[in-house]
């Protein structure tokens, strides 16, 4: 078992930040991080850093720092509060994998980590999330899966907007969709989704390198599992992609924001077929009429 050591420096003024960093790097520090505060700017959950007159820094050492170094730091920076803690080194990816096991995404569909063997009957989706967001355990993904599973999807064309690791797109192919495209704004997630498509031998699914504003096709089913602010922002693209009598699956809406979302999204020409809530999250199925 190995350890690392962290010197916590509180009450660091802006003028002392560079001096303090230089001092510790000269005395064996291997890294420094800052605890930041953020404000949410808008409904898309964009954030801005809150500027503070005093900072909280964490200084990292692979070996216990010399006591003289800490004493000298206290002498040279008397206004700063110092403390030290010892922490266990861990392989965080390995630790996370210990707790991620196969689970039922929706009835008859099981998500299986790529490092485990499928054991459940029915459809098994093998997923390796890598460094991307999306294991399928989130309530919004399960809402979307419940809705998709109940659609007559066989032979349909599908687009999954904001695919993450590709779970919903892969599921769509495995339950019978004819052609599936997926978009994702995050480059790392796109690469992971492409890998998961290959792992699941999905030859009819393509993860696109363009976003919805560049997608000129129309689809039988349009899936968007994204936060409500983004759904509102890209609603024109989502709406125009739905074929006549096609379906629009929208998830990622907090129940406390549901009424605001429904007022901002233009559902003219659509009828609501279904509303599902899991935990504090809400999803909808609409059909173009």
Domain layout of the chain by residue ranges: 3-89, 94-288
158 and 137 Cβ atoms separated by less than 8 Å: no
Q: What's this model's pTM, rounded to 2 decimal places?
A: 0.76
pLDDT digits (tens, 9 = 90+) for 106-125: 999 999 998 888 888 999 99
Output the pLDDT for position 136: 82
Output the pLDDT for position 165: 92
- 94-288 topology per CATH: Rossmann fold (3.40.50)
- Of 3.40.640.10, 3.90.76.10, 3.30.300.30, 3.30.70.120, the CATH number of 3-89 is 3.30.70.120
Output the pLDDT for position 120: 83
- Cα-based distances in Å from 117 to 129, 141, 171, 270: 16, 22, 18, 42
Output the pLDDT for position 44: 62
Say which residues have a Cβ less than 8 Å from residue 144's Cβ, sequence separation at least 6. 168, 223, 225, 249, 251, 283
DSSP codes of every residue in 111-124: EEETTS---SSSEE
State CA 49 to chain mean position distance: 20
198 and 174 Cβ atoms separated by less than 8 Å: no
Output the pLDDT for position 101: 86
Output the pLDDT for position 220: 98
What is the Cα–Cα distance from 198 to 204, expressed in whole angstroms? 11
- Cα-based distances in Å from 150 to 145, 193, 195, 249: 9, 24, 27, 12
Output the pLDDT for position 45: 56
pLDDT along the chain (289 residues), means of 10: 86 89 91 77 61 87 89 93 86 70 93 88 90 79 96 96 96 98 94 95 97 96 95 97 98 94 97 96 97
Backbone angles phi, psi at 82, to 5 degrees: -110, 145
Output the pLDDT for position 203: 97
- DSSP 3-state of 228: helix
């Amino acid at each position: 078992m190995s350890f690392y050591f962290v010197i916590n420096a509180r009450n660091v003024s802006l003028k002392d930040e560079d001096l303090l960093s230089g001092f510790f790097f000269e005395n064996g520090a291997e890294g420094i991080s800052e605890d930041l505060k953020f404000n949410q700017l808008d409904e898309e959950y964009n954030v801005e850093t809150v500027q503070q007159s005093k900072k909280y820094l964490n200084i990292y050492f692979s070996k216990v720092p010399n006591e003289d170094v800490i004493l000298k730091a206290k002498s040279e920076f008397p206004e700063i509060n110092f403390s030290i803690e010892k922490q266990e080194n861990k392989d965080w990816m390995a630790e996370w994998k210990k707790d991620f096991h196969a689970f039922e995404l929706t009835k008859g569909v099981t998500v299986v980590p790529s490092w485990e063997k499928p054991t459940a009957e029915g459809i098994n989706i093998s997923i390796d999330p890598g460094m991307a967001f999306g294991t399928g355990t989130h309530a919004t993904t399960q809402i979307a899966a419940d809705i998709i599973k109940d659609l007559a999807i066989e032979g349909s064309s599908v687009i999954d907007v904001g695919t993450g690791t590709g779970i919903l797109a892969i599921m769509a192919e495995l339950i019978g969709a004819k052609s599936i495209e997926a978009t994702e704004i995050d480059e790392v997630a796109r690469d992971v989704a492409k890998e998961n498509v290959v792992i699941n031998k999905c030859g009819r699914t393509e993860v696109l390198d363009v976003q919805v504003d560049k997608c000129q096709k129309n689809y039988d089913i349009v899936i968007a599992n994204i936060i409500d602010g983004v759904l509102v922002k890209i609603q024109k693209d989502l709406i125009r992609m739905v074929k006549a009598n096609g379906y629009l699956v929208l998830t990622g809406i907090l129940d406390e924001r549901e009424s605001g979302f429904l007022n901002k999204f233009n559902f003219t020409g659509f009828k609501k077929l279904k509303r599902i809530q899991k935990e504090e999250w809400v999803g909808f199925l609409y059909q173009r009429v």
